A and B are shown apart, each in its own frame.
Chain A
Amino acid sequence: SNGSSISWPPEFHPGVPWKGLQNIDP
């Protein structure tokens, strides 16, 4: 069992440039 990407999905914030999946820390 690995630590699945609990931080998915990346969260959109109005007015903040969207980086998509890059918003999630590796």
Chain B
Amino acid sequence: QEPLTASMLAKAPPQEQKQMLGERLYHLIYPLHPSLAGKITGMLLEIDNSEVLLLLESPASLRSKIEEAVTVLQAHQAPE
């Protein structure tokens, strides 16, 4: 699968851009957190597209962002 670039994204409508980023993110997150992949992807899609692109290019950054998202998610879902 070819890397997603800013110019590729720029050609798509905004809604489609998130979809493209989401597909990439989901397939990277799924092997790490199969049960939470959809939620984590949803959280990361709230980030700026340009920042998501950087994450997709940097596995280490993405991994740390995923762990951050998991922590937030678990705290959010934890009963009080």
Q: How many residues of B are in contact with the other chain, CB < 8 A?
A: 19
B45, A20: Cβ atoms under 8 Å? yes
Please indicate the chain A residues that have their CB under 8 angstroms from the CB of B27 in the complex. Answer: 14
Within 8 A of B (CB), among A1-26: 6, 8-14, 17-20, 23
- Give Cα A13 to B46, complex, Å: 15
How many pairs, one residue from A and one from B, have CB atoms within 8 Å of each other in the complex? 38
List the interface of chain B (C-beta within 8 A of A): 15, 18-19, 22-23, 25-27, 37-39, 41-43, 45-46, 73, 76-77
Looking across the interface, which residue of chain B has its beta carbon closest to that of A16?
B19
- Give Cα A9 to B15, complex, Å: 17
